[in-house]
Amino acid sequence: MADDFLLTRAFIEAGGIDALVAKEAPDLQCWSEAERTASLDCIMRNRPPGDVWLFGYGSLIWNPTIHTVEQRVARIDGWHRAFCLSTRAGRGSAENPGLVLGLEPGGSCIGVALRVAEASAVPELTLLWRREMLTGAYVPHWVDLLDERGDRFGSGLAFTVNPAGEHYAGDLPEAEVVRRLATAAGSLGSSADYLFRTCDGLRLCGVEDAELERLAAEVRAEQAKAARGAAG
């Protein structure tokens, strides 16, 4: 389980995510290609006027995998990022599920807006749907993208959490969130690596999320404590 393994475009195109889940979590009910296509078609039918943007708040910041033509820091209102999705494959296991980020209602979130070329929007989003819409864990929405002055510059696709989904874990105590992030890992890497890379990606864009940084410090402390215990 190497943390330097990243989800790649070729891996997704080859059906690698579906194969990974089939192996590591065979009981997981995944969406069919037809269901993903219908979901994307619905989103595109309700597309606001203007360019196609994505709002990255987690791994899309540091590993988008799709081709984009512009990137800029953006804020969205009405949503905040949280480690609220449990995963038994990729960055966790059946014995020790990991956690990844989702958008929950309330507050605001600063992330990265990624613009997709109009001519390639459908094929690029199809690839994105294979990656993000594996199950019904996310609900995609169009959200207003705001610049540093608070002015709207476009509409972006954001993957919000489905609180009715079986993978929702937004009600975990913080101690359990820290424990899972510090210890869970799978074939795509560790949950801790996902957290640390997100902090790094935001910092490279000139953004420091105080809550994520605090959580990262707690996870590092938990890992150091476990290492001392193992050594002693």
How far, in Å, are 33, 61, 139, 141, 187 from residue 124 at the CA level? Answer: 15, 16, 18, 17, 25
d(CA 111, CA 229): 37
177 phi-psi bin (left φ>0, alpha ψ -120 to 50, beta other): alpha
83: three-class secondary structure by DSSP? strand
The pTM of this model reads 0.94
* 134 compared with 158, residue with greater pLDDT: 158
* 227 compared with 75, residue with greater pLDDT: 75
Extended beta strands in 117-221, E state: 138-146, 152-161, 185-186, 189-190
Query: Tell me: the pLDDT tens digits for 165-218?
Result: 999 999 999 999 999 999 999 999 999 999 999 999 999 999 999 999 999 999
189 phi-psi bin (left φ>0, alpha ψ -120 to 50, beta other): left
For the four alpha carbons of 114, 163, 9 and 220, in that order, the dihedral sign comes to positive
Task: Domains for the chain: give ranges and CATH numbers.
Answer: 9-231 (3.10.490.10)
d(CA 93, CA 90): 8
d(CA 17, CA 130): 8
What's the half-sphere exposure (Cβ side, CA atoms, 13 Å) at 167?
A: 29
Query: Tell me: the pLDDT tens digits for 5-51?
Result: 578 999 999 999 999 988 999 998 889 999 999 999 999 999 999 99
Q: Determine whether 132 is an active site residue.
A: yes
pLDDT of residue 4: 46
Question: Among the options 132, 166, 174, 211, which is catalytic?
Answer: 132
Query: Tell me: the pLDDT tens digits for 53-70?
Result: 999 999 999 999 999 999
d(CA 156, CA 227): 42
